[in-house]
Structure 1
């Protein structure tokens, strides 16, 4: 166990760099002090080889933007970072979180660990996925499917730990922001597809989320409503129509797509609100339970929106929704 006295840029870099030096089978418990003690576990996703990846000299980059957001790029070893409420407070629910960043980086705290910590205050386990990004030079093939490989493995791994973490294996949902919302909706519509070779008994478990929360998500890769940056990062400049259609997730909703919570702002200038509307319409067409909240203002990338008097209550709407799922 390592004691970090304060969470700052240097400590975060040390935190991630330390994890990168560990063997993939190692489980690390780190106690981070941020005014109150919060225990998190960081563990690798893949027990053997990482699919579609070769050895390279590339290094993961951790940096802070001018507005203080922790960004992770060039992910080399995908991981889970797990935040668990105290046992007496646990509802049995867990939410696996996919931060956004246009498939070029991960807003790791802003749309990841900050969210996980808030979930624990309501007795919900919050689990952040540091997933691989298609632009990494270590990706050897099939770059468009690499994030989905990590997403499928992540939910299977969480499900395999349900007893150990006091989680109900039938109450494991996902939450994604922006491009992370695209990945979450990809998992929610492509969970039963075989996208990597089995590595252990974990891969025998279901990858279907029990529910989804998509926060200002990229849904379609088609024109005119796609987020061009996400599309280019994932598929390249001249993507084939087949690839675009495969990852335009409004086209793959079925009756067994998980119940979905959608949140968007009408004035989102990066990811048009039509993304959520299209997904809502597809869910409704297939009789999938869904709730959508569209705010008139808020823009894009607002995370918890704690400084926006109108938007800051969205997380409570989510808590009410998830507490009343059948």
Structure 2
């Protein structure tokens, strides 16, 4: 083998090493709770954005920044999709790449969706996956060069509902412990909720409510998952973003959560934009909206 060929293969190996797939871990290493065997298959549709539906095996996908730029902070990402699908790149991996560029570890959560026939007590399942994902992240904090006390969450739309559910129900026992990981706290250290579904009451997004709770939920279920009613003094500091002209998830969702946090003296920041509609992601193509991710970075830097 001549020297040129050896050099080329060495460069190719180095390129592949530097572009290796980020770590993917199963959320459940033993039995997946509330799962039943069916013929249902996971579906991926990438016509415009990558939409994943009927998730069968929940995972976390870990994106780590270069060690020299790492801040020690981490954020779990919950993509939206009305609890019917996950906007996995638009509100998931694209956000992870933005965070990595800022030195922040990012963990995209591919959680199960409650509209699957492979589930029992489907309304419990997203929170089960979210709690476990947070605990796995804390378990791996030293390996991933993360401060275990600087792990936050960000959620978009229905993913914002799941994030706010984790932020208000983090200590609720929703599954049987499987291993020592489940002894760790599932409480986020901070939350960012972007055009989130918050309430299951009058101002809800009906599609998300139907998918999560069904068309005839009990009053107790509606109350439990109206997260503005679940805020306490221990709810994590929160950053909220919404557009006034959002006709899908009314801005009142963020306003309700802001009011509840303020009443309990939880640090909260709210950005309400006059225009933007729903589902604008990182807002890169809008002069107003494109600044919200930088505002989030500024806010995170002020957290104690």
Q: Which of residues 48, 66, 77 in structure 1 aligns to 2:30?
A: 48
The alignment status of 1:253 with 2:231, answered yes or no, reads yes
1:191 counterpart (159, 165, 170): 170
- Per the alignment, residue 204 of structure 2 pairs with 226
Which residues in structure 2 correspond to 1:144-155 (within 5 Å)?
144-155=123-134
Number of matched residues?
290
Per-residue deviation at 1:213? 0.2
Residue 6 of structure 2 corresponds to none
Structure with the largest fraction of helix: 2
| The one of 269, 284, 298 aligned to 1:320 | 298
In the other structure, the counterpart of 1:101 is 81
- CA shift digits 1:206-265 (9 cap, x unpaired): 000000000000000001x10000000001111111111110000000000000000000
> Which segments of 5 or more consecutive residues in structure 1 lack a partner in the other structure?
1-30
Gaps of 5+ in 2: 1-14
Q: Is the 8 A contact 1:39 1:83 kept in 2?
A: no
Q: Hey, what's the Cα distance between the residues in 2 that align with 1:132 and 1:46?
A: 12
How many Å separate the matches in 2 of 1:246 and 1:55? 28
Structure 1 distance, partners of 2:108, 2:24, is 9
Q: Is the 8 A contact 1:91 1:123 kept in 2?
A: yes
The offset of 1:38, in angstroms, is: 6.9
1:32 deviates by: 8.6
Q: CA RMSD in A?
A: 1.3
**In the alignment, which residue of structure 2 is the partner of 1:124?**
104
- Counterpart of 1:23? none
Q: Which of 239, 244, 250 is the equivalent residue of 2:217?
A: 239
1:86 to 45, 57, 66: 66
Distance (Å, rounded) in 2 between the aligned partners of 1:62 and 1:39: 19
In 1, the alpha carbon distance for the partners of 2:16 and 2:53 equals 22
Larger Rg: 2
How high is the TM-score relative to the length of structure 1?
A: 0.87
Offset of residue 88 of structure 1: 1.1
The alpha carbon displacement at 1:175 in A equals 0.3
